[in-house]
Amino acid sequence: MNHVIEPGAVVGVLGSGQLGRMFAIAARRMGYRVHTLSPDADTPTGQVADIEVRADYGDLEAVRRFAAGVSVVTFEFENVSSAAAEAAAEFAPVRPAGRVLHITQQRLREKTYLADHGFPVAPFRHVRTRGDLDTALAELGGACILKTAGYGYDGKGQARLNSPQDAAAAWEALAGAEAVLEKRIDFACELSVVAARGLDGSLADYGAVANTHSNGILDLTLAPAPVEPRVAAEACAIARAVLESLEVVGVLCVEFFLDGSGRLLINELAPRPHNSGHFTFDACVTSQFEQQLRAVCGLPLGATDLMRPAAMANLLGDLWNGGTPRWDAACRFPNVKLHLYGKLAARPGRKMGHLTALAATAEAAADDALAARRALTAVV
């Protein structure tokens, strides 16, 4: 039986941000039509899609109507309710499946799943009350991080606790929400692996990349990661095992901490293309976005070879504080690619675009990407 959804078919995307935009660009290049649904209008994805549907994810009848008009549903934003995924699945296959979404969109479910299936995670405890928090702090000892159990990203919904004396303020900051307390890891670096699993169970990954963050938001990615080959290979093996365990059909990113002893610990999962995989759009044979399309449509996965070392630097809304950035200045770097997401308003901390640089080494590419970013706001 042929499970391939051929070019010319309509692919539905739940979510309408920059990930959906780059997915839609890849899909349209391969001859697919794209419909997107989100609560917003004139969105990054909607500007590229064939049809933009404005509806809340909780409007299950709207989700059903949307799914009835497409051949397959995927998502670029995991904070979609499992009920919406189930409603869509009544009319079209949802890939990755709603089960994957249900597990990965909530920290407690995600960490519990990973721990129960033998994957390496930092010690953690479930926190429902202030008393739970005090008990968990005593059990874990030392510095910890308190995180809301659900719907957090880019460092949101988190509080650092250096001692038990910080518990009251941290609990108040989370307003009593169900939470997870994690032992804080003294890590050497942060890594991630973007990988894909096809409908036939085939696997592919983009290797380990190194990430640095600023205020909880990804700032810079180096590909490949400057780590020992053993570490890179282990990270890729763990990522592939996670995709197999969850039976993902699509793309998933595994974020890691590498501690001082060389041990890898999974920090988070993202069941969709990831910010740290944006370099693949310019630097790899098959981008993470085309790979997502191939996987959810039942096509063979594409090659993931890195054609040249690369670096990606995020462009946040803070760059607009002094006026429109000088795009011509960044474009004077001939090995730097400019990606803007079409967002209508720049706000501090908002991801507005990114720069990708290609060079002989990842470190040289990072130097160029950062220099081009500085040039955006340089005084003439």
The per-residue pLDDT for range 276-316, each reduced to its tens digit, is: 999 999 999 999 999 999 999 999 999 999 999 999 999 99
Residue 224 CA to residue 156 CA, distance in Å, equals 28
Q: Where does residue 63 fall: left (phi above 0), alpha (psi -120 to 50 degrees), or beta otherwise?
A: alpha
The per-residue pLDDT for range 311-350, each reduced to its tens digit, is: 999 999 999 998 999 999 999 999 999 999 999 999 999 9
The larger pLDDT score, comparing residue 156 to residue 274, is at 274
Grade residue 149 by pLDDT with cuts at 50, 70 and 90.
Answer: confident
Boundaries of every domain in the chain: 10-94, 123-183, 187-376
Q: Which fold has domain 187-376?
A: D-amino Acid Aminotransferase; Chain A, domain 1 (3.30.470)
Q: Above 90 in pLDDT, residue 154? A: no
CATH architecture of 123-183: 2-Layer Sandwich (3.30)
Q: Which residue type, as a one-letter code, is found at position 45?
A: T
CATH of domain 10-94: 3.40.50.20
Whether omega for the bond prior to residue 229 falls within 30 degrees of 0, making it cis, is: no
The per-residue pLDDT for range 229-273, each reduced to its tens digit, is: 999 999 999 999 999 999 999 999 999 999 999 999 999 999 999
